[in-house]
Amino acid sequence: MKYLVGGGGWPIGGVLIPAGTLIDLPDDKPEHLLSPWERLAKGRVPARDCVPLDSETLALMVEKFEKYGFHVARHLVSEAG
């Protein structure tokens, strides 16, 4: 999964991941290569204002948030660019 944290950041516990932070969590990324932000985000559904950067993240966000009337498909950034 790959996405940008949007809005005013993403609060997780007592920590705020800053807006604009890139979270890149491929399945094969070793734990020791994860950034502190990626460690916090791992295993969580991205916040609704995150911008999906790959089809896996887009599909997960649509599945989790579309029932609330929130459409994330317009936020997908091309994987080629």
Q: What does 1-22 look like in DSSP terms, one character per residue?
A: -EEE--TT-EEETTEEEPTT-E
pLDDT at 81 over 50: no
Residue 71 gets the label, from left (phi > 0), alpha (psi -120 to 50) or beta, of beta
| 39: in domain | yes
Please indicate, yes or no, if residue 62 is contained in any of the structural domains: yes
pTM of the model: 0.82
Residue 80 lies in a domain: no
CA distances (Å), 23 to each of 10, 43, 48, 53, 67, in order? 11, 12, 14, 10, 24
Evaluate whether 48 touches 61 at the Cβ level (below 8 Å). yes
Q: pLDDT at position 3, please?
A: 96
Q: Show the domain range for 21.
A: 2-75
pLDDT at residue 80, as a whole number: 45
pLDDT tens profile 23-68: 999 989 999 999 999 999 999 999 988 999 998 998 898 888 887 7
Give domain status of residue 60, yes or no.
yes
* 51 belongs to a structural domain: yes
Tally of domains within the chain: 1
Residue 48 resides in a domain? yes
